[in-house]
Amino acid sequence: MNVGRQQREETPMTGTQPDHRSVVTTEIPAHGGSLEADPYPTQAVRPIVTVQQHILQEQKRFPGASGEFSWLLSGITLATKMIQAEVRRAGLTDILGSHGNVNVQGEVQQKLDVYANEVLMHCLSVRESIGILASEENERPLTVNLHSPHAKYAVIFDPLDGSSNIDVNVSVGTTFSILKRPDGETTGDVTQWVLQPGSRQVAAGYIVYGSSTILVYTVGNGVHGFTLDPLVGAYVLSHENMQMPTQGIYYSVNEAYQNDFPPGYVKFLNRLRSGEMGHHYSSRYIGSMVADFHRTLLKGGVFLYPPTVSNPRGKLRLLYEANPIAMIAEQAGGRATNGKSRVLDVQPGDIHQRTPLIVGSTVEMDELEKVLQKS
């Protein structure tokens, strides 16, 4: 196991030492044993579980797990701590505004987009278990350690989702999806590694840089949320086993495009507004998918980015936006569709493929399906 390295990454980055009178981390047993027993229970300390400890526990579910998966995920936690530090200081340093380049999506890259991408690439490329890194900001996937016998995973990410919100101090996020090298794949065929349906994700998650920095992840065994404690420099378990409420009070959609939505979506939105579903829904839309989804996960309801006249295939990207969100939603008891089928069943044809995305609580998703079937 790489426990030594993992522990180093959980040490404070700010130089500020944790206040041991009020906070203590539960020691990670060298054998990765139980975290439940607190060997030193006192009233003066508040035991915490870091994301690293949690991942070590989770990976025990995988037969023969060697610690490499938790080492991989520690690359994400380290990178996102660096990104959040830059986001938090954004108005003070020369990091706001456009970088001057246009990415593969035809979108103007923000300086923070470029920074976030470089940080993730840097932190992940040294993990030998990763063979491929694919990002929204790069036209083609980057192959790293591809021919190493230890390279088993492809990590696909959107380094900074919602980046057009950065300059106005609104929440942004990072999304990631982890796929395993397909069984029997020996030639290093990048396409085979990356173009797998979302149902094959072995892990997925997001980080929302909001009023606090929160990491939410799943390895297919429930959804868990960790808040970054800036004094300790660690993601600390704050939302264990998250469950999406079965019905919410909000819908989240860019209403400016309503005239461009297929008629079924307009009918559905009208039903939400009408009170026919038990109450009149309120509308909330940030324009950062991660932040809009995070609210939906916690409060229930529905987030929609339907097809429009100008984006008939939707706007959001399947592999690194819709798939991780869909896996988390399902693991938390919700659902995700592209309007025709389950998002996680879609066989991708292209790394930057777009998709409509409607994700939310079971009551709203049942109703949407009924309305779309009739339309």
Q: From the CB of 203, what's the least distance to ligand AFP, in Å?
A: 21
> Nearer to ligand AFP by C-beta: 54 or 352?
352
> Nearer to ligand AFP by C-beta: 71 or 176?
176
> Nearer to ligand AFP by C-beta: 63 or 106?
106
> Nearer to ligand AFP by C-beta: 6 or 288?
288
Residue holding tokens 């993730």? 120
Of 214, 252, 254, 261, the residue nearest 235 (C-alpha): 214
Q: From the CB of 354, what's the least distance to ligand AFP, in Å?
A: 10
145: left (phi over 0), alpha (psi -120 to 50) or beta: left
Interface contacts to ligand AFP, rule CB under 6 A: 107, 161-165, 254, 287-289, 305, 315-316
Neighbours of 35 (CB within 10 A): 18
Are 66 and 149 a contacting pair, CB within 8 Å?
no
Q: From the CB of 148, what's the least distance to ligand AFP, in Å?
A: 33
Strands (E), 76-141: 98-102, 108-110, 130-135
Strands (E), the chain: 23-25, 46-48, 98-102, 108-110, 130-135, 142-143, 153-161, 172-180, 201-209, 213-218, 224-229, 234-239, 250-252, 282-283, 302-305, 316-317, 335-337, 354-355, 357-360
Q: From the CB of 361, what's the least distance to ligand AFP, in Å?
A: 18
> Nearer to ligand AFP by C-beta: 43 or 310?
310
Q: How far apart are CA 270 and CA 273, in angstroms?
A: 5
> Nearer to ligand AFP by C-beta: 161 or 330?
161
Q: Which residues pair with 355 in a beta bridge?
A: 316
Q: From the CB of 119, what's the least distance to ligand AFP, in Å?
A: 17
Q: From the CB of 162, what's the least distance to ligand AFP, in Å?
A: 4
The tokens for 82 are 């660096």
> Nearer to ligand AFP by C-beta: 131 or 162?
162
Q: How far apart are CA 138 and CA 89, in angstroms?
A: 25
Q: From the CB of 317, what's the least distance to ligand AFP, in Å?
A: 8
Q: Which residues pair with 109 in a beta bridge?
A: none
